[in-house]
Structure 1
Amino acid sequence: MSTDALTPDRILEATEEVLRRYGPAKATVVDVARALGVSHGSVYRHFRTKAALREAVTERWLERAVRELAPFADGPGPAAERLTAWLSALFAAKRRKAGADPELFATYMVLIGESSRVVAEHVDHLVGQLARIVEDGHRQGEFAAPVTDATTTARAVFDATDRFHDPAHVADWSEPDIDAAFDAVVALLLRGLRA
């Protein structure tokens, strides 16, 4: 591959494959460069350090979730339905990623542990989406006014559903009663939010 065609996106795609193949402990920038057919210096021109490359991969992975959930946050329709759909989509995406590619999911859990700033920004984006739903629900008369503000309420909803999206609970996601537990938590939240 010529270095002219080398873009940050191509490097990140190759990095995902290298991480999947070797895992986070053994994957190197040299492995990424080899997969791309370039020198490791070419990779470093786009990402100054191995840590910066790993952080960018993590950020890219988390950003996919934000984009996938955006239509529920910003779309039309009753807020309760959008909130339920948003929470359901987040839970489904997490289960799908954990089940479909467990090696890559485990790799990302390691990378997320290394990237606290990226994770904090990701959570802020997700809470922001929830806050928009809460605000719309209040404006539409569907939800009561938030006790303090929409962001605080949104954070409470996010925290209350932690079992269904935090990778620390991945073992729970395959339990036979997990869907019933999810439905019960969402129903409780909606009762608490209603006007």
Structure 2
Amino acid sequence: MNDSARREQILEAADRLLRHYGPQKTTVADVAREAGVGVGTVYLEFPSKEAIVEELSRSRYEVVLASMREAVKADGRSYGERLVGALDARLRAYFTQANGGAHACDLFHCGSPAVKSASERFYQEEHALLVDLLRQGTEAGELDVAAPELAARVILRAYKSFTPPWIFMEARDEVEKLSAAMHAIVLGGVLGRR
């Protein structure tokens, strides 16, 4: 087995365990056993359990970011529709990934420094995506945003309650209804005045 296949085998095993037991109760020995390799082999690929958790958390966030990017590049839609589409895609991606087990959400939100690191990296990329969208929408005359970097920060702060773990504390349809109401408020603040 080559290094790439072995690394993937370890990540898949860790993913199964983390979804079921969470980061706190999963050990490197558990991962090794689940992957069918020795503990030393796991350490050849990853310096620590936290490194495994961070890589898996980043991969979850990458799915969310890819969904948002796809919504943003939807040609033929206004910039306001693209903004709403990106935020809706983000919410759907979170909900989809939450269906992966009792602890699937732990890779988005828990006390682990590895998850916090992955989350911070995601936030930076998400922020850059929104800044670019707001800037383009303003240049096209569809949006009216004087400071896209600040506006993106404010929008992300406003939508913080539409991220894990908060979105899992209410029924999904209620979260979607509240998100739609938030869209109306946010769009009212960024749409170009005609």
Q: Structure 2-normalised TM-score?
A: 0.85
Q: Which aligned pairs between 1:43-82 and structure 2 lie closer than 5 A?
A: 43-76=42-75, 77-82=77-82
Deviations 1:54-102 (A, max 9, x none): 211211221121112211233423111111111111112222333x235
Contact 1:73 1:132 in 2 (8 A): no
Q: CA deviation at 1:138?
A: 0.7
Q: Write the distance in 1 (CA, Å) between the matches of 2:134 and 2:9.
A: 38
Worse overlay, 81-90 or 103-112: 103-112
- Count how many residue pairs are aligned between Structure 1 and Structure 2: 190
Q: CA deviation at 1:48?
A: 1.0
Q: CA deviation at 1:132?
A: 1.8
Q: CA deviation at 1:9?
A: 2.8
Q: What fraction of aligned residue pairs are identical, expressed as a percent?
A: 25
Structure 2 unaligned residues grouped into runs of 5+: none
Aligned partner letter, 2:159? T
Q: Does residue 1:186 correspond to 2:188, yes or no? A: no
Structure 1 unaligned residues grouped into runs of 5+: none
Q: Write the distance in 1 (CA, Å) between the matches of 2:85 and 2:162.
A: 13
Q: Does residue 1:123 correspond to 2:123, yes or no? A: yes
Q: Structure 1-normalised TM-score?
A: 0.85
Q: CA deviation at 1:123?
A: 0.7
Distance 1:180 1:26, change over 3 A: closer
Distance 1:69 1:9, change over 3 A: farther
Contact 1:97 1:105 in 2 (8 A): yes
Distance 1:101 1:91, change over 3 A: same
Q: Which aligned pairs between 1:1-195 and structure 2 lie closer than 5 A?
A: 2=1, 4=3, 6-76=5-75, 77-98=77-98, 100-109=99-108, 111=110, 113-115=112-114, 116-144=116-144, 146-148=145-147, 150-172=148-170, 174=171, 177-195=174-192
CA RMSD, Structure 1 to Structure 2 (Å): 2.2
Contact 1:3 1:38 in 2 (8 A): no
Distance 1:110 1:152, change over 3 A: closer
Aligned-partner SS, 1:103: coil
Aligned-partner SS, 2:19: helix
Contact 1:47 1:53 in 2 (8 A): yes
